[in-house]
Amino acid sequence: DTAVSQTPKYLVTQMGNDKSIKCEQNLGHDTMYWYKQDSKKFLKIMFSYNNKELIINETVPNRFSPKSPDKAHLNLHINSLELGDSAVYFCASSQDSNSWNTGELFFGEGSRLTVL
């Protein structure tokens, strides 16, 4: 039973389209995250939610909108996709009760987005 699961694992789409990536965790964690890993393997935080509330929002274009219907789910919707959005997007969760990572982050397997 996968602890943090993301769908889809692969997504190929055209510029200008809108797409969503879904994430679910069954660990009972309060905090969930989206990270972006670019072609140079650099991992950068995008968003963090604690108990459905947005607590970290890094400098990310408005075209990216996270949605957390409940604390076990954090979805990422991207509007008007651009070539530069091509990356691997990782969802993660942690037990922390606030925005501070004091414990292990549990990562999903990643969703590879390719924008043509």
Partner 1 sequence: AQKVTQAQTEISVVEKEDVTLDCVYETRDTTYYLFWYKQPPSGELVFLIRRNSFDEQNEISGRYSWNFQKSTSSFNFTITASQVVDSAVYFCALSEAGTALIFGKGTTLSVSS
Q: Site residues (CB under 8 A) for partner 1?
A: 33, 40-45, 48, 56, 88, 90, 92, 99-107, 109-110
CA dist 106 and 82 (Å) reads 28
Q: Give the nearer residue to partner 1 in terms of CB position, either 86 or 101.
A: 101
Query: Taking Cα atoms as reference points, which of 44, 45, 63, 64 lies closest to residue 55?
Result: 45
For partner 1, the closer CB: 73 or 107: 107
CB of 72 to partner 1, least distance (A): 19
As measured in angstroms, the least distance from the Cβ of 74 to partner 1 is 13
The conformational region for residue 85 under phi > 0 = left, psi -120 to 50 = alpha, else beta, is alpha
CB of 11 to partner 1, least distance (A): 15
Coil vs helix vs strand at 84: helix
